[in-house]
Amino acid sequence: MSLLSPDISYQCLLSAPVLLFGDDPARRAMLAERIARAGGRVVADGPVGEALDRIGRQVTTGGVVLDVVRDEGAVLDQLLARLDAMGDAAGRPFAVLIVPPDLIDATTARIAGSDTRILIAPRPEELDEAIADLVAPAPLWLEEGGAAGRRRLAELSEEVGRIARMLARMSADESERVVTEPGLHAVGDGTLVRALIRLRRLRGHYFMPELFADPAWDILLDLAAARLEGRLVAVSSLCIAAAVPATTALRWITQMTEQAILVRRPDPSDGRRVFIGLSDAALAGMDAYLAAAKDVVAPAG
């Protein structure tokens, strides 16, 4: 006979099961509390060293929360590759991965898709949002949760939806430019690109930086400048250039890559790093923009 009340038993059945791994017991307890508060339930937890075996043999309809505080070398690489493969198969938010800033490159070299949410030293609200997205039980909430359930799901997806719509429009515009301006091959004016970057940074001295929170343009400008200067840009460097928190920058880089605005290129000398560059469509778009901008700031004649 169950010792739980019918209401509690019903809630347990609805709660998404989550595997939780981290080497700091106090942080694991904190994460378990946040998972429970979001409507999930921890079905197994332990140190990171146990994660590879447990994730491999225990399939969960909920997901995985992995809190990495130090580089585990080859073990971490295998674990990240496993998460990426299982996330692709799940076709939904599958894992929340918390890593320190010095592991951005090693992490993004193995995790390519958006099914694993990467958080870099996250703020509490970022952590709560990612966990809520991981454990959200969609169909039943929409049918029986009423307005509150629909509102929560809408709030959780609002930012990602906005990013996707914006980037889809950008991608479509760039495709048109490739057709109408096929002769453009490379970003052309280094002085202008660097001036635009300085002007972007100058805004923060006179206005609240939050007014300019979308980093897509900063990302495109930095990659254009890098192409002109003949340098390769790692994910960690691009996160800095984006001038937003690293977690936000990673989300944009991932979305822009999935929209074929950016491309990933493996580092041939370091398997734990990838470089990010402009796609051909984005390169053509930047060429066209810079040509038009140059005519505005320094018209001929």
Each residue's pLDDT tens digit, 206-228: 887 777 777 899 999 999 999 88
Give pLDDT tens digits for 5-22: 444 444 444 578 899 999
Count the alpha carbons within 13 Å of 5 in the hemisphere toward its beta carbon: 2
For the chain, give every residue range classified as CATH 3.40.50.2300: 6-136
> How far apart are the C-alpha atoms of 253 and 242, rounded to whole Å?
9
Q: Residue 207 to residues 129, 213, 215: CA-CA distances in angstroms? A: 27, 12, 16
Q: What dihedral do alpha carbons 4, 149, 55, 263 form, nearest 10°?
A: -170
Q: Which fold has domain 6-136?
A: Rossmann fold (3.40.50)
Segment among 33-37, 153-157, 170-174, 178-182 with least mean pLDDT: 178-182
Average pLDDT over residues 247-259: 91
End-to-end CA distance of the chain: 89
**What is the predicted pLDDT for the residue at 166?**
55
Q: Which fold has domain 162-297?
A: Arc Repressor Mutant, subunit A (1.10.10)
> How far apart are the C-alpha atoms of 266 and 63, rounded to whole Å?
28
- Note whether 215 and 248 are within 8 A (CB): yes
Question: Between β-strands 274-278 and 262-266, what pairing exists: parallel, antiparallel or unpaired?
Answer: antiparallel
User: Which tokens sit at 65?
Assistant: 């929360």
- Place 54 in a pLDDT band, splitting at 50, 70 and 90: confident
**Residue 270 C-alpha from the chain's centroid:** 22
- Note whether 255 and 167 are within 8 A (CB): yes
- Place 1 in a pLDDT band, splitting at 50, 70 and 90: very low
For the chain, give every residue range classified as CATH 1.10.10.10: 162-297
Produce one character per residue of 202-236: b if its CB has 16 or more CB atoms within 10 Å, e if not: eeeeeeeeeeeeebbebbbbbbbbbbbeeeebbbb
**What is the predicted pLDDT for the residue at 156?**
38
> How far apart are the C-alpha atoms of 113 and 149, rounded to whole Å?
27
